[in-house]
Structure 1
Amino acid sequence: MVMENAREVLVIGGSRYFGKRLIARLLAAGDRVTVLNRGSSQLPAGTRHLTADRDDENSLVRALGSRTFDVVLDQVCYTPRQAALARRVFAGRTRRYVMTSTVEVYEYEDSIAPVREDAVDPAAVSVDLELPWHEPEFRESHYGEGKRQAEAVLAEDPPFSFTAVRVAHVLGGADDFTGRLAHYADRIRAGSPIAVPADNQPATYIHVEEIADFLFWAAGAEFTGPVNAASHGLLDTEGLCEEVAAQLAEGRVVFRTVEVGATSPLSFRRRYAMSNSRAGRLGFTFGDVHRWLPQAVAETLGKP
């Protein structure tokens, strides 16, 4: 049943992992949900589907037609070019724009204290639209920079209420496509070495259900500017492996220190600790990573 005060919500991308959980929350709230992607994923019942290439302005405009939205939730904005295109297309089409950003915007902020949003002010970020953002390898290797510049483009005198949600590393869910926890489970079962930096640093995390809750909440809020989304507590590779090993029938944890070169996923040479105090002041209550981590590991291992 559609509620009388139902919002018109557009989700760009987001048809898997925490995106599909976000869509489920919007539908449960009675919102009219439209999902825009390239048409490659199955969508939940009750959504409307638009097929378009978000990198092609004409394709996007044709797909949208005369539609307008109360909220746009952009799950797949990775570059300033994509942000500039979205800014042009959605100016006058939406009241609020929520971009899913990342903790990686702080890749140069190696701070002992959890990093606050003002450490990376979008207004102070230089934008270069001429870089080869269309090349997949360049975009992947400049992930944090692409997100920083995308935030900067959308935040400059925005034509709509705009916020960038800087998401911590996400864990949990049987459908975690990243394979990061599975990597540790496989190596612990086999007793294979887990490569970590000599000075292994902790990070903040968030559960897949919690980030879906947060994005749903942000869609209905009025605040603007960047906001960090992370559970309370820090977690390092040792703590992560300890929990994985506790849920395996056999195996052992073996670490191999790497001075230079590749390390295992979720092992860091610098701290990725974000402060969630702004979100807390705005009214969102986070859980604690050490409370939900056992559940996240169990979900990844396929345990009930």
Structure 2
Amino acid sequence: MNKVLVLGGSRYFGRGVVERLRDAGMDVTVLNRGSTPAPSGVAHLIADRDDEAGLKAALGSRSFDVVLDQVCYTPVQAEIARRVLRTDRYVMTSTIEVYDQVRTETPMAESLVTPATVDLGLPEYEYGEGKRQAEAVFSAGDTPFVSVRVAHVLGGEDFTGRLRHYVERLDAGDAVDIHAGPRPSTFIHASEIADFLTWATLADFTGPVNAGSHGGLSAVDIARAISIEPRFRVVERDASPFSFDRYAVLDTSRATGLGFSFSSTTDWLGEAIEDARKG
């Protein structure tokens, strides 16, 4: 039985991953700050990952076959984890936003971003840059490392409210604020990314891997899936979530080649919209 440590995993698709790993027969331990209890049948450790001494105390002499890190946002957090956690393989949930500086007209392959520079002295980090630098810290270590670059997640008990923003405005007859000519990006349903992260945790490959459903969506595509006659307002700044002024579609051929089959956004977008409408 593999011993798996999940950092975070207390809500949304992270909890789904924990439950899937447990149901697959893994010996699962969740470590978080204690605001949410772990699912039944899962060990629970309480610590703040930013407190290195407290993290060491909570873990004691424990070691794991694999760590799934759901909540690493900065290189400082990555450095602490690399020093403290004892594991044979490390999987980090990263993001499509590591490509936020890429300008391309073709799907973005993992090789377009190879993080190398780390600045531990910054007081705070932009989301994409923090994830890029966290990837760089782990990649420089000796432990086999995977970064799962997750597309925008929709569906389920989505606490971000981004899709709900569209639903509420369009259902009320209001306009959605978009860029001039909004470009497509890649999306994935919450249940599918939970499946993918479970699969990636139990696999043996290393390196970055993109995760997203087939079929890119633009802000206009999302709006038209919600309303027969959606209204739009073109803005130069402060556009609605998921309105992008750059092409941002992921190339998922590496994951497919490794053996994971993604759905298409048309398979689940309507369900995600209804989830947002109910929520």
Band the TM-score falls in, shorter-chain normalisation: over 0.9
2:11 counterpart (11, 16, 28): 16
> After the TM superposition, which residues 92-111 of structure 1 pair with which residues of structure 2 at under 5 Å, given as runs?
93-111=86-104
**Separation in structure 1 between the aligned mates of residue 34 and residue 240 of structure 2, nearest angstrom:** 33
Secondary structure of the corresponding residue to residue 69 of structure 1: coil
Instruction: List gaps (5 residues or longer) in structure 1.
Output: 1-5, 134-138, 247-251
**Separation in structure 1 between the aligned mates of residue 21 and residue 143 of structure 2, nearest angstrom:** 20
> After the TM superposition, which residues 1-304 of structure 1 pair with which residues of structure 2 at under 5 Å, given as runs?
6-90=1-85, 93-122=86-115, 125-133=116-124, 139=125, 142-156=126-140, 158-173=141-156, 175-245=157-227, 253-258=230-235, 260-302=236-278
Q: How high is the sequence identity, in percent, across the aligned residues?
A: 54
Displacement over 4 Å in runs of 4+: none
Deviation at 1:61, TM superposition (A): 0.3
Deviation at 1:128, TM superposition (A): 0.5
**Separation in structure 2 between the aligned mates of residue 190 and residue 202 of structure 1, nearest angstrom:** 25
Q: CA RMSD, aligned part only?
A: 1.2
Question: TM-score, normalization: structure 2?
Answer: 0.97
Deviation at 1:43, TM superposition (A): 2.1
Q: In structure 2, what residue type is equivalent to 1:271?
A: Y
Q: How many residues align?
A: 279
Deviation at 1:42, TM superposition (A): 2.7
Deviation at 1:300, TM superposition (A): 2.2
The Cα offsets for residues 51-98 of structure 1, whole Å up to 9 and x where unpaired, read as 1110111010000001111110000000000011111112xx211110
Deviation at 1:163, TM superposition (A): 0.3
Deviation at 1:302, TM superposition (A): 2.7
Deviation at 1:32, TM superposition (A): 1.3
Instruction: List gaps (5 residues or longer) in structure 2.
Output: none
**Separation in structure 2 between the aligned mates of residue 268 and residue 276 of structure 1, nearest angstrom:** 20
Question: TM-score, normalization: structure 1?
Answer: 0.89
Secondary structure of the corresponding residue to residue 207 of structure 2: coil
**Separation in structure 2 between the aligned mates of residue 22 and residue 179 of structure 1, nearest angstrom:** 21
Alpha-carbon contact 2:109-2:252 (below 8 Å) kept: yes
